[in-house]
Amino acid sequence: MSAEASVGSHAADSAQSAVSQPACLHTDDHRNHGLLGSKYVKLNVGGSLHYTTIQTLSKEDSLLRSICNGETDVTIDSEGWVVLDRCGRHFELILNFLRDGSVPLPEDHRELDEVLKEAQYYQVQGLVQHCLSAMQKQKDVFESVCRIPMITSAKEEQRMISTCRKPVVKLQNNRGNNKYSYTSNSDDNLLKNIELFDKLVLRFNGRVLFVKDVLGDEICCWSFYGEGRKIAEVCCTSIVYATEKKQTKVEFPEARIFEETLNILIYENSRGSGPGGLHLLDSRGSGSSLGTGQSEEEGAVGGDRRVRRIHVRRHIMHDERGHGQQTVYKD
């Protein structure tokens, strides 16, 4: 009896293994031979569900094609979904690229970088190149954009100018810092100075750092820096003594401002290379001339280096002139 029981038990075990073995072989066969027997495939990418064809996934030599061919093992759940442990946010974009060969990419740089990372993971080289080209275009556009720092403190200004490797042009523009009322043309001239600043930014962008100071003491004053120190200054503000009241006057010495901007370009590549052409700016050349109603001062700032300060006539005495006499200017 024990021998028969043993034989019966062995037969039962063999029958049970024969029943369970096909299911196991089916799973292994599904893993090793991929999805070639199917026309459609269901994908669960990080909880995002997608339904597509084997033909679409096999269009490029990618990780998705290797999954379809059975070269890469995948996990298939009980409902037949191929489970991919990735974020599914941009997977629809990858599928659309495989379907059409091109796809609109997001303009946001962060999202574009996310798409690039997914394309690199799935080894879709066409989409990778598409993303890299879009990033390069964004970089070119970004570099051509004019960025103007707004100075809010003297410490911030000093740090920016001392560390900048380019020449610096600063416009100090604080209309509210006036003690007296403005003359009739002052507002127009103030706007002209601001417009000239914008034009210079567009013309010399990339070669010169342009800074706008809206909290300084001067109403309208241009400063020019090279190698971390001030080279020249053009003050556009004057005080007009009228018959019974004083007024603030803003000038627009366009030619002088443009000349100093051109002069500062000599410092474009001289940071860290010694004094270089400093002597060329320490004294004005013969081709340089002061505009009408301007004066020039030089103050030592260390050694032989000086700062050229160009001012419009600062005091106009209307009440001290007789009838028919010319205006008297006093510095």
Domain boundaries, given as residue ranges, for the chain? 40-142, 150-268
pLDDT range class, residue 328, cuts 50, 70, 90: very low
Mean pLDDT calculated for residue range 29-48: 73
Instruction: Kindly tell me if the per-residue pLDDT of 3 is higher than 50.
Output: no
Going by the DSSP 8-state scheme, the letter that residue 324 receives in this structure is: T
Task: Give which of 40, 89, 99 is closest to 68, Cα–Cα.
Answer: 40
Query: Which pLDDT value is given to residue 205?
Result: 79
Instruction: Kindly tell me if the per-residue pLDDT of 100 is higher than 50.
Output: yes
Query: Which pLDDT value is given to residue 224?
Result: 92
Highest averaged pLDDT of the listed ranges 199-203, 291-295, 318-322: 199-203
3-class DSSP state of 235? strand
**Euclidean distance between CA atoms 130 and 141, whole angstroms:** 17
Instruction: Kindly tell me if the per-residue pLDDT of 72 is higher than 80.
Output: yes
Check if the beta carbon of residue 59 is closer than 8 Å to that of residue 123: no
Check if the beta carbon of residue 185 is closer than 8 Å to that of residue 226: no
Check if the beta carbon of residue 293 is closer than 8 Å to that of residue 216: no
pLDDT digits (tens, 9 = 90+) for 127-185: 999 999 998 887 766 555 556 666 677 788 788 888 888 888 989 888 887 778 888 88
Q: What percent of the chain has pLDDT over 90?
A: 30
pLDDT range class, residue 98, cuts 50, 70, 90: very high
Check if the beta carbon of residue 127 is closer than 8 Å to that of residue 94: yes
**Euclidean distance between CA atoms 49 and 88, whole angstroms:** 8
Q: Which CATH class is domain 150-268?
A: alpha beta
**Euclidean distance between CA atoms 253 and 292, whole angstroms:** 9
3-class DSSP state of 73? coil
Which residue carries 């028919």 as its tokens? 324
Check if the beta carbon of residue 137 is closer than 8 Å to that of residue 105: no
Q: Is beta strand 294-302 parallel, antiparallel or unpaired with respect to 246-250?
A: unpaired
**Euclidean distance between CA atoms 131 and 102, whole angstroms:** 11
Instruction: Kindly tell me if the per-residue pLDDT of 25 is higher than 60.
Output: no
3-state SS track over 250-306: ECCCHHHHHHHHHHHHHHCCCCCCCCCCHHHHHCCCCCCCCCCCEEEEEEEEECCEE
Task: Give which of 306, 266, 263 is closest to 285, Cα–Cα.
Answer: 263
Query: Which pLDDT value is given to residue 16?
Result: 46
Name the burial class of residue 290, with classes exposed (0-12), middle (13-18) and buried (19+) by CB atoms within 10 angstroms of its CB: middle
Domain 40-142, CATH number (from 3.30.2130.10, 3.30.710.10, 3.30.70.270, 3.30.420.10): 3.30.710.10
Check if the beta carbon of residue 119 is closer than 8 Å to that of residue 181: no
Query: Which pLDDT value is given to residue 91?
Result: 94
pLDDT digits (tens, 9 = 90+) for 253-270: 999 999 999 998 888 876
